[in-house]
Amino acid sequence: MNYQNPDKNGYYGEFGGAFVPEMLYPNVEELQGQYLDIINSEEFQTEFRDLLKNYVGRATPLYFSKNLSEKYQTQVYLKREDLNHTGAHKINNALGQVLLAKKLGKKRIIAETGAGQHGVATATACALMNLECIVYMGEVDIARQAPNVGRMKMLGATVIPATSGSKTLKDAVNEALRDWINNPSTTHYIIGSVVGPHPFPDLVARFQSVISEEIKWQLKEIIGRENPDYVIACVGGGSNAAGTFYHFVDEPAVKIIAAEAGGFGLDSGKSAATTFLGTLGVLHGSKSLVMQTEDGQVIEPHSISAGLDYPGIGPFHANLFKEKRAEFFSITDEEALKSAFELTQIEGIIPALESAHALAVLGKKNFKKEDVVVICLSGRGDKDMETYLKLL
């Protein structure tokens, strides 16, 4: 079985595809027809690799955490995506897609954002490459995430509030899709995770796959073999996890662990653990697992971390779950907070709350002393200081 790539219609097993209104067919078909030729071209790869190296600061270190290793009696390595420019993995995708948009001749970029991290990454890439940038963001999120709204504005983006529904991420996606329908020829829509209609899940996974590409050669340098025993990442939509797992999913020797946001707990009614609570459905253009009522109404998710507060999961991961290729853990808000403070105090690294969900797996599973366990530290914690400070 090939877990890495979807079939030609964008399916990973039974998940994926492109479920969009007829008016979006031309946009989506244009992308489907061209994305692989463009991003695999030598010209594109040269430009993209140069930006990753000199602008983002890649390769990010693969750091052996002596202190976590001692505490949990195993060999823990942290993939330091927190050290990327703008503070998380999201810039890998934003730069790749802005570059793609330029090759497609687009003049205008639109994006949706929840916490503002993807909006900031997109606004950054647009400032660099001189493209107009419009970010849709729920009115409620604009109020909750003022520093990121400020960053986007300073970077020259226009932030448009989504005022329908619950005024959060899923409403911002709907507004962005409406904009794309109205401006098909001039505009590229940059989706921020491995979600959305085909080809977005594959496109975003390929841009993020640099994470596992680096882990392989870095491990080879450090321990003399390319494959770890485990890779672990948190999953919101699933882009940092897809990047971390990408070059390992078809290596049976590597075990894969995904950490979902359990919120207050699986039975609390306030959770975002989609594989545990979701059922087959269509959300934002693809068929996957979705948290929904019996009649298909999306259930409002909850997580303490805005980046994991999403009622769906990318089709790549839904397939890993269904096929039992990956083990899924549901990490509560409290467990994530505990892990965030632990890393800060024993390693001097303040992680993003999202990344802390991946770290929390160390406390829930027994690894062997000699196991090599690579954890993706998807982002840094600056943006979460307000939450952390409440606990001090």
Ligand X SMILES: *Cc1c(COP(=O)(O)O)cnc(C)c1O
- In the complex, the residues that contact ligand X under the rule CB under 6 A are 88, 90, 117, 193, 234-241, 307-308, 352, 354-355, 378-379
Q: Shortest Cβ distance from residue 71 to ligand X (Å)?
A: 23
Please name the residues in contact with 23: beta carbons below 8 A apart, sequence gap of 6 or more.
181
Q: Which two tokens stand for residue 223?
A: 């321990």
Q: Is 164 a catalytic residue?
A: no
Nearer to ligand X, 58 or 102 (CB): 58
Of the listed 65, 102, 106, 112, which one is catalytic?
112
Cis previous bond, 59, omega within 30: yes
Q: Shortest Cβ distance from residue 50 to ligand X (Å)?
A: 24
C-alpha distances (whole Å) from 94 to each of 15, 116, 254, 352 are 24, 13, 28, 19
Q: Shortest Cβ distance from residue 244 to ligand X (Å)?
A: 9
What one-character DSSP code corresponds to residue 389? H
* Alpha carbon distance 192, 198 (integer Å): 14
Nearer to ligand X, 90 or 206 (CB): 90
Nearer to ligand X, 228 or 237 (CB): 237
What one-character DSSP code corresponds to residue 351? B
Of the listed 65, 79, 81, 90, which one is catalytic?
90
Residue 173 identity = V
Nearer to ligand X, 237 or 263 (CB): 237
Q: Shortest Cβ distance from residue 306 to ligand X (Å)?
A: 8
Please give the full DSSP string across 248-271, using - where no structure is assigned. Answer: TTT-TTSEEEEEEEEET-TTSS--
The count of other CB atoms within 10 Å of the CB of residue 298 is: 17
Nearer to ligand X, 134 or 359 (CB): 359
Nearest by Cα to 116 from 151, 91, 164: 151
Q: Shortest Cβ distance from residue 238 to ligand X (Å)?
A: 5
Q: Shortest Cβ distance from residue 193 to ligand X (Å)?
A: 3
Nearer to ligand X, 83 or 234 (CB): 234
* Alpha carbon distance 121, 125 (integer Å): 6
Nearer to ligand X, 90 or 255 (CB): 90
Residue 203 phi, psi (nearest 5)? -60, -50
Q: Shortest Cβ distance from residue 300 to ligand X (Å)?
A: 18
Which residue sits closest to ligand X, CB atoms considered? 379
Residue 153 phi, psi (nearest 5)? -65, -45
Q: Shortest Cβ distance from residue 41 to ligand X (Å)?
A: 26
Q: Is 378 a catalytic residue?
A: yes
Burial class (CB in 10 A: 0-12, 13-18, 19+), 216: middle
**How many residues appear in the chain?**
392
* Alpha carbon distance 53, 267 (integer Å): 44
* Alpha carbon distance 366, 327 (integer Å): 13
Of the listed 106, 175, 378, 383, which one is catalytic?
378
C-alpha distances (whole Å) from 69 to each of 63, 199, 219, 365, 370 are 11, 39, 16, 14, 10
* Alpha carbon distance 45, 293 (integer Å): 43
Cis previous bond, 199, omega within 30: yes
Nearer to ligand X, 106 or 383 (CB): 383
Residues with catalytic annotation? 90, 112, 378
